[in-house]
């Protein structure tokens, strides 16, 4: 399983501990809101934009300084999942602890939205699935429709409002798609390097070519040592000026990735940080817009 699984050392409680808190029943909570649990604050933000004041959202992972790969689920996580009416998970092996804890909490009534499944993304022939679908803007538009449908099921009286909010959310994605298309028009075929596959959907949509050896990014993603030969091949991308930018995961670091950052700096090649959770004060749209702006600046 890829290192990007959030399972880490997830603590799953005994089946009987929180049974009384299980998600039985339908409709909104006593305060009129629908309880939503999202595996990360990326999906939590999308749920808030669509649900408005009709939802109470809990994002399990929200600290932008935390390495999501090392997350350890807590008893609080299980309690929130036991009460949820709607659960949004990434899927694709990224956050398997959500399904495990839902089962332990005996919450079979929650509607579970799997972002990877909704995206329709699959593993390429002979390769592995890139589960980081939040960097695929069209997939988030499809997820928005799924969220609206799930909230409408939980709170039918406000289903029309959820549908309208989803339409507003999708309209707000249009500038991101236009900016991505503009990058492709100007910079299609430009070589970039990565540390992990996290941003690849966005880079591909912008027409950028990932020049990093698969062995490097796969080793980093798995938490394995990068073979010396592969590390030298990757460093040569910078010394040989074969790439125009380094796009690196700022939430994970190790000796190999630090060497890439240093090599890029020494070669005068711009670095663009990306993250797996949203920084505070951002929405999905402003977060992606910032990443696209940083890419544009680096490539210019």
Better pLDDT: 10 or 38: 38
Per-residue model confidence as pLDDT tens digits over 13-31:
333 333 333 333 445 665 7
Return the closest-CA partner of residue 112 out of 149, 78, 71.
149
Domain boundary, last residue among 153, 171, 189: 171
Better pLDDT: 153 or 224: 153
Domain boundary, last residue among 117, 146, 171: 171
Residue 1 lies in a domain: no
Per-residue model confidence as pLDDT tens digits over 112-139:
999 999 999 999 988 889 999 999 999 9
How many structural domains compose the chain? 2
What is the CATH classification number for the domain harbouring 199? 3.40.50.1980
Beta-bridge partner residues of 193: 246
* DSSP SS3 for 214: helix
The tokens for 25 are 């029943």
Residues 250 and 293 in one domain: yes
Residues 220 and 127 in one domain: no
Residue 228 lies in a domain: yes
- Give pTM, 2 decimals: 0.89
Residue 23 lies in a domain: yes
Residues 155 and 188 in one domain: no
Which range marks the domain in which residue 239 is found? 175-299
Please compute the mean of the pLDDT values over residues 193-202 and round it to a whole number: 96
**H or E stretch at 248:** strand 245-249
Domain boundary, last residue among 171, 200, 233: 171
- Residue 65 has a pLDDT of 65
Residue 32 lies in a domain: yes
Q: Is pLDDT of 228 > 70?
A: yes
- Residue 30 has a pLDDT of 59
């Amino acid at each position: 399983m890829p290192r990007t699984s959030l399972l880490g050392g997830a603590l799953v409680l005994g089946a009987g501990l929180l049974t009384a808190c299980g998600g039985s029943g339908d409709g909104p909570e006593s305060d009129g809101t629908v309880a939503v649990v999202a595996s990360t604050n990326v999906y939590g933000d999308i749920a808030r934009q669509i649900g408005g004041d009709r939802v109470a959202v809990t994002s399990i992972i929200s600290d932008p300084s935390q390495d999501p790969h090392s997350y350890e689920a807590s008893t609080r996580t299980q309690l929130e999942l036991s009460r949820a009416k709607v659960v949004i998970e990434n899927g694709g092996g990224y956050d398997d602890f959500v399904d495990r804890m839902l089962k332990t909490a005996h919450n079979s009534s929650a509607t579970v939205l799997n972002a990877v499944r909704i995206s329709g993304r699959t593993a390429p022939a002979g390769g592995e699935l890139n589960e980081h679908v939040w960097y695929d803007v069209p997939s988030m538009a499809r997820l928005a429709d799924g969220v609206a449908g799930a909230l409408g099921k939980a709170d039918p009286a406000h289903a029309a409002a959820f549908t309208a909010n989803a339409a507003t959310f999708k309209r707000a994605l249009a500038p991101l798609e236009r900016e991505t298309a503009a990058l492709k028009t100007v910079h299609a075929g430009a070589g970039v390097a990565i540390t992990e596959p996290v941003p690849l959907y966005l880079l591909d949509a912008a027409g950028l070519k990932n020049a990093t050896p698969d062995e490097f990014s796969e080793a980093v993603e798995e938490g394995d040592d990068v073979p010396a030969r592969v590390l030298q091949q990757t460093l040569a991308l910078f010394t040989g000026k074969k790439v125009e930018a380094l796009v690196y995961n700022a939430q994970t670091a190790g000796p190999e990735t630090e060497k890439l950052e240093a090599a890029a700096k020494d070669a005068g090649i711009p670095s663009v940080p990306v993250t797996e959770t949203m920084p505070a004060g951002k929405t999905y749209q402003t977060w992606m817009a910032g990443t696209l702006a940083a890419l544009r600046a680096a490539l210019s």
